[in-house]
Structures are given as structure tokens and as C-alpha cells.
Structure 1
Amino acid sequence: MSPRESLRALAQWGVLGALVGAVCGVASAVFLFLLDEATALRERMPLLVYALPVAGLAVGALYARWGSSIRGGNNLVLDTVHETDRQIPLRMAPLVLLGTVLTHLFGGSAGREGTAVQMGGSLADAIAHRFRVSADTRRELLAAGIAGGFGSVFGTPIAGAVFSLEVLVVGRLGYEALLPALVAAVVGDLTTRGLGIVHTAYPAPGVLPLTGGVLAKWVVFALAVAAVAVVFVEGTHRLKKLLEGRLPALPLRMAVGGLAVVGLWKLVGTDMYLGLGVPTLVRAFVDPALPEAAFAWKLLFTAVTLGAGFLGGEVTPLFFIGAALGNVLARVLGLPLDLGAAVGMAALFAAAANTPLALTIMAVELVGASVLPHVAIVATLAYLLTGHRGIYPAQRIARLKYGGPLLGKLVPLRELPGESPGSAFARKSSDSAGNPQGKR
């Protein structure tokens, strides 16, 4: 490539990446504003939680009528990156935004990243088709959409860029999309902040030197994180499979799930497991009296909410679960409380999403460099220990985590021989929703 062609390519990625980042940043700002308003309203009017089954019925009817082609969610975005014979419908952005805000308004336990990634993917694909770019450029723009959505919704642009490259293929980074992803993530974050959005501030842990004894503790810590990640992934998938088998109609399934969340809420007698749960997440960094079962309750609330089909994502609930688990493990193992919460917060999502590098960087962006090297060690070990499963069954894999020969082609996690029940469900569910999941 000549210098002129290189400059032309750089200019193209700068312009297109910035455009994707700007629209993702605006979408994230609108989403986060509405999410804050919905959460504040629910906290002022806790009786709204009783209406969660009705909200599930309404959102389910909405998706049954207009959302059949987008029910693959994040997996649809990932599949589209690898299979360019489809377009992500633009209506995914407003529908997932509305569904997620309603989920949080009425107390469902869900996150934000799923909505941000889906909005980013649909908006980026619309831009790609508007400019009639090549198939390769379109794939890279979709990665930029993931980066712009993820980076802007959490205020972590570098992690957003790396996440978009790491999440596509397990164990491999797609460097061909690095520049547009980085531009989109940085511009998206600047846009969201420029529109007045303030992200959650987490306590910064102190420095802990790495010694042999500390390393041994982190190995035990990673074992516990991996076990909880497996429970979350498999539990959510199994519950969703069970509910789909018993209640094929999405509106009814979501209404029953809403009833279950209301029942859990009354059983525990506290609001701390509803919605995002950010106050309790931050509390895990500083409170040695945090209930030991907090991570398990949040896992259950989230598995029921997402398993029933409510909209949102997994990141913030996994942050909550990981930080609360880290709080308990730090007390047991004699580690600093704030460091245990920070490492648990990042490592649990790294294990569940197969993205240890992105979450190591994200931990640094959120709490500072003192979390190194501990978070990298735990995230990597937990990622390996969870096996070939994850919250995104559409992730491709070229070589098994433990090495061996290349598989010959990129294989979705859901299609690996000996796949887990969760992966098998994901393929069946996505196919039944009208979203082909890969060429067989």
C-alpha cells in the first residue's frame, strides 16, 4: 500500500469511526439519562415493582409483534459481524432502549451493556449500508459500533475498543478493526460525557505487592470466580430453555418472570437486588458487613429476569455479583476489601464473556492501576477455568482454550462438540426466533 493509499484509509476510518462513535455516544447519553430517571422514579415509588409482570406482558407483546427479527440480541450482532448476508434492523436500537428502560423502571435485574452493544451495532450497520461500504469495511464498522456503545455507556473507551475486538473470536484479537473501534470508542465516550452524563465513580484500591502468598490467594479467588461464572451462564441458559419449553408465548413468559421477581423481592425484603444495584456494588468496596449471600441473591434475580426474556445486559449485574463475591472472598482470604471487590467485579465478567484482556483494561480505567497485576491474573485463570461456554454463544472460536490444532474454521461456541446445555439452548432459541445462526 502506497503512502497515499495509507492516508486515504486512515482518513476513511477516522471519519467513519468518528461518525459511528458520535451516534453511539448520543444514543448512550439518551439511554443513560432515561435509565437514571426510571431508576429514580422507581425508588420514589417502590409500588411500581408490582407492575413488573404487566410490563413484561407489554414488552413481550411488543417484541412478539415487531421484534422477531432482532430477538437474537447481542448474538445477532456478533453473528452479523461474521456473516455479512444479513442486516441488523435499525429498529433494534429504539426497541431495545425502550424495553430496557421499562425493565429497570419496574425493577427487573438487568444491565446496560446489552442495550449499548445492540444500539451500537444497529446504528453502525445503518451507516455502513448508507455509505455502501465493502463487506470487509462493514464488518469493521460493526466492531466499531460495539466499541462505541460499550465504551460510551461505561465511560471506558480503551476497554470498549479492546472488548469489541476480543469478544468476536475467543482467544483472538481482530486487529484489522483496531483503528475504527478505537476512534468510535473515544468519540462515543467524549460525546456522552459532553452531553452531561456522569459515570459511576468507584473507590480506588491501595497498592498490594504481589508475593507468593498473595498469588496463592488469587488462585483460590479465581477458582471461586470461575465457579460462580459457570453457575450464572448455565443457570440463565437452563432457566430460559425451561421457560421457553413450558411457556412458548413471549408475553406470557415475561409476565411469569415478572411475577417471580416480585416474589423474590418480597421474600428478601429489600430493594438492593432490583435494577442495576449500583449503590450495593459500590458498597462492596468498603463494607465488611455486606451480607455474604448478596452475590447469590443478585445472581438469582438476574437469572430470572434475563431468563424470562426481559431486556438489558449482563455486565452491571455481573459487576455487582463479582464485587459482592470479591468482598466475601477478601474477608475469608485476608485480602484488602476494596481490591477484592475490584478484582471480583472485573474477573467475573471476564470469565462469563471470555474477554480477560478487555476487562483487565476496564478495571484500570474504573479504579486505577493499583488493581494490576492482580486483576490480570484472576481474570485469565477464571477465563480458562470456565471452559467453552459464555453469555454470548455466538462468539466464534478457532482453537480450544487449552491449545491444540486449529479447528479448521471459526465455530460458534453453541456448535462445539460436547456443547453445554446453555449453548444448545442458545442455538435452538435463536433459530426459533427467526435469526439464522451460522451456515451449517
Structure 2
Amino acid sequence: MTTRVTELSILFFSVAKWFLLATVVGLLVGLSSTLFLIVLQSSVEFTQSFPYAFLLLPVSLAFSGVITARFAFRARGYGTEQVIRAIHQEGGKIHPRVIPVKFIATIVTIASGGSAGNIGPCAQIGGALCSTFGQFMRLEDVDRVRLVVCGISAGFAAVFGTPVAGALFAIEALWVGRFSYGALFPSLVSAFVGHQVAANLGVAYLSPVFPSVPSLSVPFLFSVGLAGITFGVAAFAFVEIMGLGKRLALLTKTSAALTGAIGGSVLIGVTFLFSDDYLGLGWTTVAQALKGDDLPWYAFAIKAVTTSVTLNFGGSGGILLPLCFYGATLGSALAQWLGVDPATLAALGFVSVLAGATNTPIASLVLAMELFGPGIAPYAATTCAMSYLLTGHRSVIPTQLLHESKSPSFALASEQEIERVTLAIKSRRTTLTKMFFGKRSSSESSDE
């Protein structure tokens, strides 16, 4: 009896402790995210008053590359992977310099037209604030790590306006095939508080769009299945395009300033060839896709290229919003071929490519329900799961740890960063391929 009372008492005080800490985190990250979003919006509105502001991209990417290389290398690129690396390898310690450098570099990158998102920066700035707060409070590594996870969830929720998805994403993005339930309660609290702070301070969110989801039928299920396969292959391709951009940037073997100038010049060329719709945050195009408007069928491909160039050639920003753009415009294009409602497939693409490229199918499913309503859940669950599996053992968050393989046909070392995983095919005694097409071995025949 005494042991049970002691257990309950410890758990009660743990819940109280994390409710308090997560509330503080939500306030901090909600305020910092709101400040960041307001400054970013003002900067974008100012530069958009100049039709050819994108001509400054070589200068802005060079500037971003130089200040991140000089003052806070971990602030370059998209940020989320750096926070997760700190969680796994450094006990949640993030240098406070990341906060101002990420803030400035991202504003300069996106305001001039760089193709990047605003979710990753809020998550990284929030994570760095939480790390600094944890170090000030002299928390143990395990508590500081949990605090940083809360910072990611609050940052996600403050930008997207989806607290449950934000809480789940912050935990699910840490590992492939593992979920830390102990962090769920504080992550939810910080996400709800962060969202409420941002919403009450005037942050505008994507207006909830409820696609006219068709009723359950065999033809539509067939279309959903084809869409799930397409989104999985597309997520696979997006990760590879980001990797290709990284390798090309390394091949230049030049200074950060010159690398940024090269990347900015490429983006200018792409803009003159197509349009400036593939620069910046891209919320306008995403909203058009979710309304079912007609868009160029190739929009998703151009966005992948501009994002890879921006984030690999010196720019700073997030990767999650470009992924949503990529998925929504792909869904819109696919709907024209399949003859189904483009808004529905755009919504499914929005969350499914995110699920595959970040290995977060549960968070992406909940994101679909928070943004588009519960009616889309059966279809989003299907496409998110398919995309997650078909993306394979890769991620736009290369510092995710692989906990388990996505198929028993692969032999992989667990708890490795996913970008370092070596793929090996495992020999299996019985598979569907062998059952239907292969020859049985002599040992299998003798067993009969």
C-alpha cells in the first residue's frame, strides 16, 4: 500500500511540475513565434511592393550564409534537424546565439524571395529558448530534452494553429518507429498555450477548408490508393532532391558568400523562366490548391527545386511548409488525371507528402483532421500510411533516429541517424514472391 501511495504521489507531482514548465514554455515560444511571424509578414509585405525584389536573392542568400557560418552554423538550412540532433546527441543543449541568427537569416531569406517555410524557424527558435531556460534552471539532461520537445510543439502549433498535430509531430519526428509517450502531456500543454498566445496576439491562420469529400465507394478508394502511391513516390523524390542540392552545394567548394550568390542567381533564372509563385512561403498557392483552383501541373516540381536551392545554398528557413506546398499542388495536378475533386486530393497531398518525407504519419493524420475536418480521416489515414512506407528509410530530417525497419525484408542497425543508415536486404525463408513465383529450396521440400 505504501509503495502504491508513493508511486501515485510521485506521478502527481510530476504531472504538476510538467504542467507548470510546459505552460511557461508555451508562453515563451508563443511570444517569440508571434514576434517572428509579425516581423516576417511585415518584411514580406514591404519587399512585395517592389516587383523585382527577387533580384536581391544572390545578396540575401550570401548574407544568410555568411552570418550562419560566422556566428551560428546550426542556424543554417531548415533548423528542425538541428534541434533533433541537439536532443539526441547534446542533451538538449542549443547555443543561445542560434536565436538571433536564425531569426535574422530567415527573415532576410524569405523576404527577398527564398523558398522556405516559417514553421521550422519557430520550432528551432523555440527549442533554443527552451534549452536556454532549462540550462538556467539547471535541469537534468532528461528534463531539458523534454523541454526542448515542448518548444518544437509550441512553435509548430503557433504557426499552423493545430496544437494536437504540433504536439504529436514534436515527438514522432524524433524517431522512425518509436513514440515517447512520457513527453506527450507536456508537449500537448505547451502546444495549446503557444497556439492560444499566438492566436490572441493576432497571428492569422490558414482558414479551415473542408473539402467536399466523396462518399465511400470502390472507384474513389481506388483513386485514393493511386494517390497514396503517388504521394509516397513524390516524398521519396523530394528527399532525394534535397540531398542532390546539398551535394551540388558542396561541389562548389567556395565561400559561403559565393555559394549563396550562385544559389540566388539560379533562383532568379527559375523565376524568369516560370514565375515568382514558387518563391517565398507560398501560402497563396497552397490556399488556391485547397480551394480546387486550376494550377500549373508542374508547380510541385518547380517548388522542390527552388526549395532545395534556397536551403542548400546559404538560405535559412523551414522545410515543412514547402513540403505542404509540394504535396497540395501535386494532389491538385493528380486530381485532373484521376477525375476527382481537386480540393480533396490537394488536402490529402498536403498531409501525405509531409507524412512520408518526415516519417510522421500519425501527426499528419491529426493535422488533416484539425485543418479539414474528421470526414477526411479515413482517406488521409490511408494515404499518410502509404506515403510513410513508400518513402523508405530516408527523411528530410536526416538526424531522426531509426528505431525499426519499415519492412522485415531489410536488415538495418537501429538507433542510427537515418542519413547514415546502410541498407541491406535480408534473406527470408518465405515471402509472397517466393510463394507465387520462386522455387522452393531442397530444405523446404524435405520439410514436407
**TM, length-normalised to structure 2:** 0.89
Preserved contact between residue 404 and residue 414 of structure 2 (Cα < 8 Å): no
Supply the AA of the counterpart residue of 1:177.
A
Cα offset, 1:51, TM superposition: 0.9
Mapped pair 1:391 → 2:396: yes
Mapped pair 1:47 → 2:56: no
Q: How many angstroms apart in 1 are the aligned matches of 2:408 and 2:96?
A: 39
Preserved contact between residue 358 and residue 396 of structure 2 (Cα < 8 Å): yes
Query: 1:98 aligns to what?
Result: 104
Cα offset, 1:200, TM superposition: 1.6
Cα offset, 1:142, TM superposition: 1.5
1:52-87 Cα distance to aligned partner (Å, 9 max, x none): 111122222211211135447322211221224572
Cα offset, 1:216, TM superposition: 1.7
Query: 2:242 aligns to what?
Result: 236
In terms of mean alpha carbon deviation, does 91-100 or 339-348 score higher?
A: 91-100
1:210-265 Cα distance to aligned partner (Å, 9 max, x none): 23322221121112112221221111111211211213422211111011111111
Q: How many angstroms apart in 2 are the aligned matches of 1:250 and 1:65?
A: 9
Query: 2:124 aligns to what?
Result: 118
1:140-169 Cα distance to aligned partner (Å, 9 max, x none): 111111111111111111000000110001
Distance 1:408 1:64, change over 3 A: closer
2:314 to 309, 314, 317: 309
Q: How many angstroms apart in 2 are the aligned matches of 1:417 and 1:408?
A: 8
Cα offset, 1:287, TM superposition: 4.1
Query: 2:12 aligns to what?
Result: 7
Cα offset, 1:382, TM superposition: 0.7
Query: 2:352 aligns to what?
Result: 347
Q: Which runs of 5+ in 1 are unaligned?
A: 420-440
Cα offset, 1:7, TM superposition: 2.0
1:36-60 Cα distance to aligned partner (Å, 9 max, x none): 1122122211222111111122222
Mapped pair 1:401 → 2:406: yes
Supply the AA of the counterpart residue of 2:253.
L
1:262-289 Cα distance to aligned partner (Å, 9 max, x none): 1111111x22111011111111123453
Preserved contact between residue 70 and residue 88 of structure 1 (Cα < 8 Å): no
Q: How many angstroms apart in 2 are the aligned matches of 1:157 and 1:406?
A: 36
Query: 1:283 aligns to what?
Result: 288
1:361-403 Cα distance to aligned partner (Å, 9 max, x none): 1111112122211111001101100100010111011110114
Preserved contact between residue 61 and residue 310 of structure 2 (Cα < 8 Å): no
Distance 1:372 1:389, change over 3 A: same
Preserved contact between residue 116 and residue 149 of structure 1 (Cα < 8 Å): yes
Q: How many angstroms apart in 2 are the aligned matches of 1:111 and 1:245?
A: 25
- Identity among equivalent positions (%) equals 34
Preserved contact between residue 157 and residue 192 of structure 2 (Cα < 8 Å): yes
Preserved contact between residue 87 and residue 93 of structure 2 (Cα < 8 Å): no
1:220 to 219, 223, 226: 226
Residue pairs, 1:29-428, within 5 angstroms: 29-71=34-76, 73-85=79-91, 87-268=93-274, 270-403=275-408, 409-418=414-423
Preserved contact between residue 202 and residue 367 of structure 1 (Cα < 8 Å): yes
Q: Which runs of 5+ in 2 are unaligned?
A: 1-5, 425-448
Supply the AA of the counterpart residue of 1:389.
R
Q: How many angstroms apart in 1 are the aligned matches of 2:411 and 2:423?
A: 17
Q: How many angstroms apart in 2 are the aligned matches of 1:234 and 1:309?
A: 19
Runs of 4 or more off by more than 4 Å in structure 1? 69-72, 404-409
**TM, length-normalised to structure 1:** 0.91
Q: How many angstroms apart in 1 are the aligned matches of 2:58 and 2:180?
A: 41
Cα offset, 1:406, TM superposition: 9.2
Query: 2:440 aligns to what?
Result: none
1:305-340 Cα distance to aligned partner (Å, 9 max, x none): 112131111111111111111111112112222111
Q: How many angstroms apart in 2 are the aligned matches of 1:408 and 1:391?
A: 19
Q: Secondary structure at the match of 1:42?
A: helix
